[in-house]
Structure 1
Amino acid sequence: MENDAHKRHVAIVERCTLTEAGLCHLFHQSSDGRYIIHLFRHVQALNAAMARQPFWAVIYSLSGGRELRQESLLCLNAVSQSHPETKRIVLTNNADEALLIRHLSPSGLHGILSKSESVASLSERLLALLNGTRQESDDDINQWVMSHNGCLSPTELAILRYMTYGYSMPEIATQLARNIKTIRAHKFNAMAKLGVNSDMGLLSAADIIMHLPASKVKGQPGLAAKL
């Protein structure tokens, strides 16, 4: 680990110019010059830079819709494999999106923060994560999720996986050998646990589920063949 006196390189993936300026200002005002910020608009540019420059942390700032959320998860999963010592932090757009990432992210993250927090709170929490004075372990995240919304059951996880691949509710009922009313009940239970109130919100969760290892959902007839 680098000595605290040394500069630490931090990569930030951010597409929004205004948010990019805000993050630069945050680091300039709060980090005492400890960090050197590298801004990237695309994951491809980040990957090219990581081949040349070791980074203390990679911060992926979510913006836009489902496709970018998928890209962020793939990106941070790849970083966890190729550079396990690099801190991985996600900035979500709001608390609901943070909940989805917390509950369903396939790899352990060092932190998940919401851009809807106050600037003071976001600054304090982000720098604490980077400085190593606070880290959200898997146990911390799991405890937070369970205390707020409970855990998804294996059947609920399977339904989300099937949704990712375009199955309808009747088709999912057939695949899982369950009554359609039972499948719909599981679907609404999953929505309540994840804090979403629409099929689009549940599909966003399904996008994340797609990147979980298949072993996380066991004993579900027909699922392995589609995956």
Structure 2
Amino acid sequence: MSAIGLTHLFAMPPLSDYKLHLFTRADSLKVALSRTSFFSVIYSLSDAREERRNCLSCMRELALNHNDIQRIVLASGEMEAKLVSHLFPSRLHGIINKAVPLIELLDELSALLKETGRVNDNMLNHWYVSHNRMLSPTERAILRYMSFGYSIPEIATQLERNIKTIRAHKFNAMVKLGVNSDVGLLDAADLLTHLPAGEGRRTALTIPAFS
């Protein structure tokens, strides 16, 4: 979602009650965090690997240094929302698929912004967890090896399992993540193996003060 799209979204009730700040650089967000009391940071993704990596890094840093700030991710589609839900190491208040109809997007985002006291306890965040089992340690290990270019026989050797077992675990991971190719699995592996400092589109919200 572009900056223009986010601006239009937050011009509509009930989101129009919030003051929106747009950031495209990580350092700009850091400076703003030192000066402004934000209660929520929303990261809008665009189904790009590099941006997912940057989002992971941003949300992880927020969780470590600004744990009182609500953290929400807007995913470009259901597939990306599943990847974020399964693989992000830092806890999030919510993950929303922004490809849903506008009225649903408004309702879900509004509900999350009203719920600022709890992390990982709301229904919107756990929809993906309840409908898709989490990856097992073996499935995660297979994804990591795949990201480094290991073949199935090589992974079987590393994990001391037979090839059929590795293929079965790989298939299970694909089902859980909703992907049907190695490319989709490598997208997931990116989130497991990278925590780079980067830049991307971020938004921060404050409740306006009325005098």
Q: TM-score of the superposition, structure 2-length normalised?
A: 0.82
Please tell me whether the aligned partners of residues 47 and 80 of structure 2 are also in contact (alpha carbons under 8 angstroms): no
- Paired residue type of 1:99: K
Q: Indicate whether 1:60 and 2:55 are aligned.
A: no
Compared CA separation, residues 135 and 200, structure 1 to 2 (3 A): farther
The more displaced of 151-160 and 111-120 is: 151-160
Equivalent residue number for residue 69 of structure 2? 86
Structure scoring higher RCO (CA < 8 A, sep ≥ 6) equals 2
Aligned counterparts of 2:107 and 2:151: Cα–Cα separation in 1: 44
Q: Indicate whether 1:100 and 2:83 are aligned.
A: yes
Please tell me whether the aligned partners of residues 26 and 58 of structure 2 are also in contact (alpha carbons under 8 angstroms): yes
The more displaced of 132-141 and 100-109 is: 132-141
Please tell me whether the aligned partners of residues 164 and 206 of structure 1 are also in contact (alpha carbons under 8 angstroms): yes
Give the number of equivalent residue pairs: 195
Structure 1 unaligned runs (5+)? Answer: 1-15, 213-227
Q: Indicate whether 1:184 and 2:175 are aligned.
A: no
Compared CA separation, residues 167 and 48, structure 1 to 2 (3 A): farther
Equivalent residue number for residue 133 of structure 2? 150
- Once the two structures are TM-superposed, the CA of residue 142 in structure 1 deviates from its matched residue by 8.6
Equivalent residue number for residue 112 of structure 1? 95
- Please give the per-residue CA displacement for 1:47-83, whole angstroms capped at 9, x wherever unaligned: 2322322211110000242111011011001001110
- Paired residue type of 1:68: E
- Please give the per-residue CA displacement for 1:66-109, whole angstroms capped at 9, x wherever unaligned: 11101101100100111001000000000111111112221111
Compared CA separation, residues 75 and 143, structure 1 to 2 (3 A): closer
Equivalent residue number for residue 51 of structure 1? 34
- Once the two structures are TM-superposed, the CA of residue 34 in structure 1 deviates from its matched residue by 3.1
Q: Secondary structure at the match of 2:35?
A: coil
